[in-house]
Structure 1
Amino acid sequence: MILQSLVNYYEILASDADSDIPRLGYGKANVSYAVNLSADGELLNIIPLKINVQKGKKLVEVPQSMEVPEQEKKSVGIKSNFLCENSSYMFGIDNKGKPERSKECFKAFKELHINILQNINNAAAKAVISFVNNWDIDQGLEHPALQEYLDEILSGANLVFKMDGGEFVHQNKEIRQIWEKHKSSSENTNVMQCLVTGKEETIARLHPSIKGVKGAQSVGGSIVSFNDRAYESYGRYKEQGLNSPVSEYATFAYTTVLNYLLADGSHKMYLGDATIVFWAESPKKIYQDFMSLYMNGGMVNNDERMVKDEVAAREVRSVFEKIAQGKPIDDLSDVFDEKTNFHILALSPNSARLAVRFFTSNSFGSLIRKIAMHYQDLRMEKQYATDADAISIWRLLNETVSPKSNDKAASPLMAGATLKAIITGSPYPASLYNAILIRIKAEKEINYYKAAIIKAYLLRNTNKFKEVLTMSLNEQSPNRAYILGRLFAVLEKAQHDANPGINATIKDRYFTSACATPASVFPVLLRLSQHYISKAEYGYVSDRKIADILEKLDINNHPFPSNLSLEEQGVFILGYYHQRNAFYQKNNKKSEEN
């Protein structure tokens, strides 16, 4: 399913005239320098190809992404690429301290280019052949043309050929034709039914590496690979590809389009240890623009090189306005086809391989409604005017991490499970809820974001407590855990009124116990409250409020509970937040009136 979706998307992009997806036989590579040759194959100079890009507030130099002949999958062996290589292959020199291996690399490079280019009557081809025939490896480090950029060249930067400052050799029309002919004449004779296309085709033995997954090896990783007898079956010794037969065409298509997606910084996300890419079965980027903004709570990540479609931004704002007003998400605008299939793939590093964390497919309209439901579940009366209207998944996960922790990343498993719950509309993971409770009890602080997460979890994961899972205070609720949370907030306010500006309140000492074992704490707090009420100027207001809440509890007939379940503790916290926020909103209203 994953490979079929990727191959299908490759074909959609390949048929689009405006797409820059590499065609069959080609791939993308980050190229730093061009080796400028004369018509006689003499090295004239090195031309830098790096470009300046904005990363945050800084302008940095990065290699230029270019379409080059398809790169070989390399491990420990020696195998040369065509017309795009590093200094080990192109010059026979590097800084790895293995000169003999570098010579073997240059030998492989030379043999490949002579083999492909020797029968073509083309000036650029003749120049390359003359270069590889006349290049002196032993004097390579001393060549004056290399000196200016020698350190970076030796460090493994990719290089391509250029003809006397003009055309890139790998872009020459005749050379492209001879390369495509060479690629089509595969030595692989294994023909089987491809698991992806269903056709009888030549099967790929090795699959190209996937690059761009956070935490994976720099040379890339594989989704499909068999490199040990333990993973082989049916006697497929040294014929790894036949264990999971994928045609050479399907292999090229899925790896090319996946690398294309992973190279696009504006349409991928990092969540925990997972790298997440998403795509619609359409050549239009607006679907990805919309999803990228939507998952980020409508905010643009300024650290990425991204330009968002203004139409997508307008549509995201429209959706969030409906959510803020409590309106259902009906039809999207005519810009989108709601029936278009949309795919989300999460990949994690796993040594030389890549692990699929999850993969989901749905219609674009259905997916938008599921994420809208997530934002609806999170709706909560804000604590401060500066609090975000829409809570992005990153902000949500950040609330599970201690502010004192050196590692600010949330648990990878929890992050993946949370995102999966959001995009599928399934229950949130218990680990998210438990992490929030732990942070509240450790920090003794209940902010807007934590309260919203608790409300969303209980709303989606339980069939109880519906009457208290609201945006703001519900004074009519008979739920005891909720009322106890409200009572704690009233007792804390009574202390504040008696001691304005106090640093440590009853919350710092008693909140955790009150939340978990009310019977052991509330009698003590009620006795203390009489002292605060007598001391405060308007203590009678708090006294009346406490009496009203105690009347709802009816503690004479129903004593304080000895303990509260984890779910009830969440309800207690919501009661506390709602009641405290009601005081805050009331004070703000008075200030505005004055």
Structure 2
Amino acid sequence: MLRALYDYAVGEDLVLPAGYGKKIIRAYVSLGADGRFLGVIPGEAEKVPCPDIGSIANSGDKCNVLAEKRSILFPGDEKQKNQYAKKRAYFCETLSQAAVEEPRLALCRKAMEDTETCAAISAELDRMKLDGAKVLSFQVSGQSILEMPAVQNWWEQFRQQFRPKGRQSLCLITGQPTVPMATVPPISGLSVVGGHARGDALICFDKDAFQSYGLKQAVNAPVSEEAFAGVKAALDALLADAPVLSGMKFVHWYDKPLPKAEDEVAFVLGAGIPDEDDDSEEDEAPAVNEAQVRLAADELVRGVETGKPVHSLPNYYYILLLSGVNGRVMVRSYQQGNYSELTQALQQWERDLALTNSAGTGLMKPAKLRARLIRLMPRQNSDKNVFERMAKELSGLTPPILNAIMTGAQLPDAVVSRALGYLRSQMMGGQEEDQGRKVPDPWAVQWLKAWLCRQERKKYEKEELSVDYNPKHPEAAYHCGALVAVYGAIQRLAMPEVNASLIDRYYASAIQTPALVLGQLSRLSNYHVSKLEGLRTYFTDLRDQTASAIGDTIPTVLAPEQQAYFALGYYQMGAKLKKDWLARKAAAEKNKEKDSKTEEEGF
């Protein structure tokens, strides 16, 4: 893992010189050639390389040089002034030492020691609302002191005092002899998943039980300063754009650069899908499915399958799930594998998810993975902290789900039980859709379909599940669910004003014990069908065909796998009924328009 991160940093040109770290400079105190204070200049949004003494700056009397927090350089009140007096003195002392190489730094120290100048600088910082946590540096004659060649040469010599001393070991990253670091610089970017604001340690041995051969701290996992600088640069860059899944940062990269538009993993995670879709159900998708079009037109994938070169492709992918715990980086999962196999697995995942929308007019739109994960938690009508719940409830389930997606393996069985629980809660207490129709949550149904597709590949020579309702599917429970959807539609048309629908009363029991329920629903449907006008033949034929598809025996008790088939059959039959209803409505309007046109022409 460390070597892969180091190689990524080298390949992406992220490696900083040893002793440097990237920081955002919020403002520069500008001084003239004579040391006169000229004003405070806002910094750039991008991070710039700055001298960094590592964890030593977090304690004791030392601080980073040339660029530090405002609370140290120009305290806003007496409390900060007293608290950071020794650190400020250390900063001034290092400026004096650096001034031997670059005399202009003496002007910076003079400005920090002059009471009137300090007061003017603090007033300007207050006006700009730069609090004590913002990092500041200096400019002299319009040039940043961080960019002065003489200062950089001085820092290379000055930092030698902070380099580790002792016996050499082989670096775990490069394999080269090195004096290992006693403590490693913290990794930034995990504050949203339990990490500390100032960073978290990736290599840490602070308990005797974790140490061996008398070695202390990070020397138990020896790494050189230069090599770990590459690992830190890679992680800092990758974590900046990494999405959050179940309280973990999802970090992935490849051994060769890959354009974002062709990043298979980012697409599956939901890159480019607006955040506002996270809690909505995409039912009314257009007839053209974006994911399917992408698969059909993906030259990159075709190149992998046919061997025809498109451009230089990665050989391997790497995936890390990270969180922060008590100031340490917690590696929840690490996975690496062949890129071509990954591409095929992600294609299979999209095919497994392919499902008609609830109106039957097209396929479901792509969705962010974290939005899908919500459907694996107990359903709550009002949940403002849904992602906090996800971090607690799905942190153990998300890694095996991701592994199954990335490798094409079977999804955990917990996916079925959790998705079914979400659907039962929704069907018992959810809001009714148009025409009083209750529609199972499509994303929860997609979980069931994906799980069943992977099960079927073990049972049958070919997959039997399709995007729409399949009247020839061999599973009886699938058609039991479809038949319940037909019974519900018949009652809805026959008795539109009923308070408690057939689905409200019987869905929960039908999905568990269909043999005890379908007989009663059949008797009720005979009564309801008699009230239908114009649709009687359509519904009786569909009802009889669906009942025949069940076979000779109606299942007595359904196991979780069969319940998944039931829920999928119910959903897909509901989509078919809605599609047929929309088609009839469109045909009726077309005929009405045609008749109206004929009357006008006759008139």
TM-score (norm 2): 0.82
The counterpart of 1:149, out of the listed 125, 129, 148, is 125
Task: Report what 1:405 is aligned to.
Answer: 383
Task: Report what 1:294 is aligned to.
Answer: 267
Instruction: Give the Cα separation in 2 of the matches to 1:542 and 1:143.
Output: 85
* 1:271 is aligned to 2:245: yes
1:105-116 to 2 correspondence within 5 Å?
105-115=87-97
Offset, 1:80: 1.0
SS of aligned partner of 2:398: helix
Offset, 1:270: 1.4
The counterpart of 1:35, out of the listed 24, 29, 51, is 29
Task: Report what 1:321 is aligned to.
Answer: 293
Amino acid at match of 1:431: A
SS of aligned partner of 2:152: helix
Offset, 1:499: 2.1
> Residues 477 and 286 from structure 1, CA distance in 2 versus in 1: closer, same or farther, beyond 3 angstroms?
closer
Amino acid at match of 1:381: T
* 1:370 is aligned to 2:369: no
Amino acid at match of 1:496: R
SS of aligned partner of 1:275: strand
Q: Is the 8 A contact 2:485 2:570 kept in 1?
A: yes
Q: Is the 8 A contact 1:41 1:129 kept in 2?
A: no
Instruction: Give the Cα separation in 1 of the matches to 2:322 and 2:229.
Output: 19
SS of aligned partner of 2:122: helix
SS of aligned partner of 1:344: strand
Number of equivalences = 546
Q: Is the 8 A contact 2:512 2:557 kept in 1?
A: yes
Offset, 1:574: 1.5
Question: What whole-Å deviation, never above 9, does each CA across 1:93-146 have from its counterpart, x for those lacking one?
Answer: 25593543211111222233334x1431x24233234445x345xx78x70232
Task: Report what 2:333 is aligned to.
Answer: 358
Instruction: Give the Cα separation in 2 of the matches to 1:365 and 1:319.
Output: 19
Q: Is the 8 A contact 1:287 1:336 kept in 2?
A: no
Instruction: Give the Cα separation in 2 of the matches to 1:296 and 1:367.
Output: 14
Question: What whole-Å deviation, never above 9, does each CA across 1:397-437 have from its counterpart, x for those lacking one?
Answer: 23335343232223333333322321222222223322211
Offset, 1:572: 0.8
SS of aligned partner of 1:521: helix
* 1:341 is aligned to 2:316: yes
1:381-460 to 2 correspondence within 5 Å?
381-384=356-359, 385=361, 388-401=364-377, 402=379, 403-409=381-387, 410=390, 411-444=394-427, 445-460=439-454
* 1:546 is aligned to 2:528: no
Instruction: Give the Cα separation in 1 of the matches to 2:19 and 2:315.
Output: 29
Offset, 1:178: 1.7
Instruction: Give the Cα separation in 2 of the matches to 1:288 and 1:344.
Output: 18
Instruction: Give the Cα separation in 1 of the matches to 2:466 and 2:264.
Output: 27
> Residues 424 and 75 from structure 1, CA distance in 2 versus in 1: closer, same or farther, beyond 3 angstroms?
farther
The counterpart of 2:100, out of the listed 91, 115, 119, is 119
Task: Report what 1:588 is aligned to.
Answer: 582
Structure 2 unpaired stretches of 5+:
277-288, 428-438, 591-603
Question: What whole-Å deviation, never above 9, does each CA across 1:266-316 have from its counterpart, x for those lacking one?
Answer: xx211121112222223x46158634652344635579xxxxxxxxxxxxx
Q: CA RMSD for the aligned pairs?
A: 3.1
User: Which has the larger displacement, 562-571 or 390-399?
Assistant: 390-399
SS of aligned partner of 1:5: helix
Instruction: Give the Cα separation in 1 of the matches to 2:544 and 2:234.
Output: 67
Q: Is the 8 A contact 1:518 1:562 kept in 2?
A: yes
Instruction: Give the Cα separation in 2 of the matches to 1:328 and 1:589.
Output: 38
Task: Report what 2:280 is aligned to.
Answer: none
Q: Is the 8 A contact 1:9 1:257 kept in 2?
A: yes
Q: Is the 8 A contact 1:78 1:108 kept in 2?
A: yes
Offset, 1:199: 1.0
> Residues 508 and 228 from structure 1, CA distance in 2 versus in 1: closer, same or farther, beyond 3 angstroms?
same
Query: Percent of aligned pairs with the same residue?
Result: 23
SS of aligned partner of 2:529: helix
SS of aligned partner of 1:182: helix
The counterpart of 2:302, out of the listed 302, 311, 330, is 330
> Residues 577 and 324 from structure 1, CA distance in 2 versus in 1: closer, same or farther, beyond 3 angstroms?
farther
Task: Report what 1:536 is aligned to.
Answer: 532
Instruction: Give the Cα separation in 2 of the matches to 1:419 and 1:209.
Output: 27
Structure 1 unpaired stretches of 5+:
15-19, 52-63, 304-316
Question: What whole-Å deviation, never above 9, does each CA across 1:67-98 have from its counterpart, x for those lacking one?
Answer: 2223522444343112110123323x255935
Task: Report what 1:57 is aligned to.
Answer: none
Instruction: Give the Cα separation in 2 of the matches to 1:327 and 1:129.
Output: 60
